Amino acid sequence: MSSSSHPYLSSSSFMFTKSGSYIKDVNTMGHRQNTGSLHRHSVAEVYSETIERGNLSNSREERRNSASKCMVSETNGSGNKISVGNGHTTLPDEIITENAGEVMKFSQMPHRSKYTLFMLAVANFGAGCAYSLPAPFFPREAAKKGVSSTVIGLVFSCFQLVIVVTSPFFGNFITHIGAKFTYVSGIMTAGVCAILFGFLDQGPSGTPFIAMSFIVRTVEAIGVAAFSTASFAIVSNEFPNHIGSVFATLETCVGIGLMIGPTIGGALYEFGGFGMPFWVIGVIICSSGLTILTCLPQPQDTVKQKNGSIFSLLRSVIVWVSSLSIFAGACGISYLDPTLSDHLDQFGLSTLLVGLFFIIGPGLHAILAPVWGYISDRKDIQSPLLVLGNLVCTIGFLFVGPSPLLPFLPRELWVVTVGLILFGLTIGCSIVPTMKCLVIGARELGFPDNLSTFGMVSGLFNAAFCFGAFVGPTIGGALIEKIGFAYGSTIIASFFFVVMIVTSVYFSVRRLRHKSDIQMTKYTDLSSNSQQTLRPNEDTEITERSPLLLDKSQKKTRLTFDSSFSSSQGDLTRM
């Protein structure tokens, strides 16, 4: 469509369809005109089509108002850009996803984006290693210091609990503190604490050892909460159209770190004693922090804008549903840590084979997380992914037990293996799409797409995930002692089943409301068209006086109608 053939353009609303070749204009006479090659549609139809493509529905009032406020630019036949209205290209938050369907290729990224993603991936890998590093040898060394198994478990679980408490704080004030400063200071704190943890065996036994373990582990968790929250906020701000894919990439790096951390820790412990694993990983983390300090680009969105507290996000139902899915997924992953080993002892497996069973779930999750992120960004099907993921995870935990609800399943190793494989295949499906759902919920509440919003979303995600990671092993040990592994796994399966039901019901109701909202908006638009058709032109005088108020000098009531009503005026004159 060339600019020469375009009719008079007023400062009214213009909307694009998918192809961008159809624009609807409201001219100064109050009539709607089609200036494209398609058939006549309403503004509501065009806008709802754009909303459905981005899967970012807004509130009913905002959806109607933005249709009249949105002013975009048009591309003519020669590829030149034509400014409309005030010369600026302005789109509502819901449709700033024109490239959401494109495939993100690392080779095509700008140098800034490549380096940012690479450095964040390395740091998240180091964080995963640091968390799982002490698992093979710390319980043995702590027992030599007179620490009970219960206290050892609390030393590990307090890490997640501290992240639950501090992540919302960092997410809420990330633009005031500074995203880069939060990230660098957090990762340096975590690295220094990892080094300090390696000196604990040199201290006295008993209460001092326990106190120092809790202090160092707590401060390390604060550092991890700071840099992990900042990392998710930075990538969301840097890659707004590929949140699922990039977030899944970081999840993969963390998962790989969690998997190989115990192996690295055990090998370094055999080579250099208690302190060697912590010193090596601490130096690596600190070196990564210094490199990021000098080379990581400053986030482009540095405006210190206060959008509201992180608790404002809890007004959105989709945020609650997503957080529930995050919690269930983290709870399922961490439940197996203290319980699976004892369950596998009945099959007479070697220590090496038991370790391989621990890798099945996290390994498949690390491999497939980018796939689920790609599907989430490419197809925009977050709700089916969440339902599918929680459903298959339910089945997986019923097999791992095996559950008493499935008495036909034999208590054999292959059943446990199938359950772990099913769980590993789809746990990412129930976690990865939630980040994009949280962003959608924030947009629906009116939060802008800036670093402050992404910081709050990241903080909420970390809090929900770490809360599940804290609850999982805590209730896992209690359930094993009271009712056994089979019934405990059934309870974890019920968590996933409840999330699946809640997710299915919510997104079904959401879809029905969206359809009814479109129909309501269409009806409102049609009514508006009818009123505009009956409305006279602005330059036509309309005067009507009641005969009871006429002066004696006035002979009749003067009525002037639009030319479209001339025939009716003639009939009235003849009467």
Give the model confidence (pLDDT) of 235-276 as tens digits: 777 777 776 677 777 777 887 887 787 778 888 888 888 888
User: Do residues 333 and 435 both lie within one domain?
Assistant: yes
Last residue of a domain, one of 95, 118, 146: 95
Last residue of a domain, one of 95, 129, 155: 95
Residue-wise pLDDT for 48-80, tens only, equals 433 344 444 444 344 434 433 433 333 333 333
User: Do residues 244 and 314 both lie within one domain?
Assistant: yes
For residue 34, pLDDT beyond 90: no
Burial state string for 534-543 with b = 16 or more CB within 10 A and e = fewer than 16:
eeeeeeeeee
- Domain of 553 in residue numbering reads as 536-575
Residue 540 lies in a domain: yes
pTM exceeding 0.75: no
User: Do residues 219 and 243 both lie within one domain?
Assistant: yes
Give the amino acid at 236.
S
Q: Are 345 and 399 in contact, with CB atoms under 8 Å apart?
A: no
Contacts of 257 (CB under 8 A, 6+ apart): 124, 125, 126, 127, 128, 129, 130, 131, 132
User: Do residues 67 and 192 both lie within one domain?
Assistant: no
Residue 16 lies in a domain: no
Which pair of structure tokens corresponds to residue 353?
């084979």
Element (H, E) at 168: helix 149-172
CA-CA-CA-CA torsion sign (250, 120, 111, 437): positive
DSSP string over 523-559: HHHHHHHHHHHHSPPTTS------GGG--TT--S---
Q: Are 455 and 395 in contact, with CB atoms under 8 Å apart?
A: no
Residue 45's pLDDT is 42
Last residue of a domain, one of 66, 95, 124: 95
Residue 528 lies in a domain: no
Residue 420 lies in a domain: yes
- Sequence-ordered strand ranges (E) for 21-112: 24-26, 32-34, 74-75, 81-82
User: Do residues 495 and 566 both lie within one domain?
Assistant: no
pLDDT class of 297 with cuts at 50, 70, 90:
low
User: Do residues 247 and 326 both lie within one domain?
Assistant: yes
CA distance 316 to 325: 15
CATH classification of the domain holding 385: 1.20.1250.20
CA distance 541 to 532: 17
Count of structural domains, the chain: 3
Residue 444 lies in a domain: yes
User: Do residues 132 and 88 both lie within one domain?
Assistant: no
For residue 128, pLDDT beyond 60: yes
User: Do residues 87 and 114 both lie within one domain?
Assistant: no
User: Do residues 498 and 558 both lie within one domain?
Assistant: no
Residue 477 lies in a domain: yes
Residue with tokens 């710390």: 138
User: Do residues 88 and 114 both lie within one domain?
Assistant: no
Residue 527 lies in a domain: no
Residue-wise pLDDT for 176-209, tens only, equals 777 788 888 888 998 899 899 989 888 888 888 8
User: Do residues 481 and 547 both lie within one domain?
Assistant: no
Which pair of structure tokens corresponds to residue 447?
């939060």
Residue 219's pLDDT is 93
Q: Are 210 and 147 in contact, with CB atoms under 8 Å apart?
A: yes
User: Do residues 196 and 59 both lie within one domain?
Assistant: no
Residue 3 lies in a domain: no
Contacts of 236 (CB under 8 A, 6+ apart): 243, 246, 247, 435, 439, 454, 457, 458
Work out the burial of residue 310: count CB atoms within 10 Å of its CB; fewer than 13 is exposed, 13-18 middle, 19 or more buried. Answer: buried
CA distance 333 to 228: 19
For residue 340, pLDDT beyond 60: yes
Residue 499's pLDDT is 92
Cα angle 87-93-94, degrees, rounded to a multiple of 5:
120
CA torsion angle 563 568 570 571 (round to 10): 180
Q: Are 343 and 420 in contact, with CB atoms under 8 Å apart?
A: no
Which pair of structure tokens corresponds to residue 520?
């309501």
Q: Which of 48, 7, 101 has the alpha carbon at shortest distance from 524? A: 48
